[in-house]
Amino acid sequence: MLFSPSRLFHRATALLTAAVLLASAPLSHATIDDAHSFAMEAAVPFVEQGFIVREDYWNGEVKSGQKLMVRHQMFKGNEYAFWLGCAQEEVTFELQVLDEKGNEIELDFKASGMFATVRVNPPKTGTYSVVFSLTSKKEKGLYWALAYGYR
Amino acid sequence: MNRSPFYSLFAATALTALASASNVSAQAASSGAQEFDPRAFPGQVVEDVVVPVPSEVFSVLDKLGEPNWRQEIRTIDFQKTADRTKLSLMFGLVVAEGFVAVQAEDKEAVKDIGREVIDLATALGLIKSVRPHAQAILDAADKSDWSSIRREFDQTQKTVRDSMIQMKDNDLSQCVSMGGWLRGTASVTSVIAKSFSADRAELLNQPMLVEHFINSINKMSKDKKDHNNVADISKGLKTILAKMEGAVDGFTKDGVREIGKTCDSLLKDIQAAR
- Give the ranges where chain A is alpha helix by DSSP (H): 5-24, 32-48
For residues A100-107, give the mean pLDDT: 90
pLDDT in tens, B124-183: 999 999 999 999 999 999 999 999 999 999 999 999 999 999 999 999 999 999 999 999
What is the C-alpha separation between B264 and A35, in angstroms, rounded?
A: 40
- Scanning every residue of chain A, which has its alpha carbon at the shortest distance from the alpha carbon of B63? A77
Q: Is A94 on the interface with B (CB under 8 A)?
A: yes
- Return the pLDDT at A5: 47
- Scanning every residue of chain B, which has its alpha carbon at the shortest distance from the alpha carbon of A3? B148
A-B C-beta contacts closer than 8 Å: 170
Name the β-bridge partners of A53: A149
- Which residues in chain B have their CB less than 8 angstroms from residue A82's CB? none
Q: Determine, for residues A73 and B6 on separate chains, whether the beta-carbon distance falls below 8 Å.
A: no
- Scanning every residue of chain A, which has its alpha carbon at the shortest distance from the alpha carbon of B56? A150
Angle of helix B84-103 versus helix B54-63 axis, rounded to 10: 30
| pTM confidence score | 0.85
Contact present, A82 and A121 (Cβ < 8 Å): no
Q: Determine, for residues B199 and A77 on separate chains, whether the beta-carbon distance falls below 8 Å.
A: yes
Strand order in the sheet with A91-98: A91-98, A126-136, A68-74, B44-46
B24, B148, B205 member nearest A125 (Cβ) = B205
- Which residues in chain B have their CB less than 8 angstroms from residue A31's CB? none
List C-alpha distances in Å: B165 to A126, A144, B3, B159, B212: 28, 20, 9, 10, 17
Q: Which burial class, exposed, middle or buried, applies to B249 when counting CB atoms under 10 A from its CB (0-12, 13-18, 19+)?
A: exposed
- Which residues in chain A have their CB less than 8 angstroms from residue B204's CB? 125
Q: Determine, for residues A150 and B157 on separate chains, whether the beta-carbon distance falls below 8 Å.
A: no
- Which residues in chain A have their CB less than 8 angstroms from residue B19's CB? 67
For residues A144-150, give the mean pLDDT: 98
pLDDT in tens, B223-234: 999 999 999 999
Q: Determine, for residues A56 and B50 on separate chains, whether the beta-carbon distance falls below 8 Å.
A: yes
Q: Determine, for residues A68 and B46 on separate chains, whether the beta-carbon distance falls below 8 Å.
A: yes
What is the C-alpha separation between B82 and B107, in angstroms, rounded?
A: 30
Q: Determine, for residues A59 and B35 on separate chains, whether the beta-carbon distance falls below 8 Å.
A: no
Q: Determine, for residues B21 and A125 on separate chains, whether the beta-carbon distance falls below 8 Å.
A: no
User: Cα B251 vs. chain centroid, distance in angstroms?
Assistant: 20
What ipTM, to 2 d.p.?
A: 0.87
Of A27, A36, A28, A53, which is closest to residue A145 (Cα–Cα)? A36
Mean pLDDT by 10 residues, chain B (274 residues): 39 34 36 59 92 97 96 89 96 98 97 96 96 97 97 97 95 98 98 96 98 98 97 98 95 97 97 80
- Return the pLDDT at A17: 52
- Scanning every residue of chain A, which has its alpha carbon at the shortest distance from the alpha carbon of B51? A73
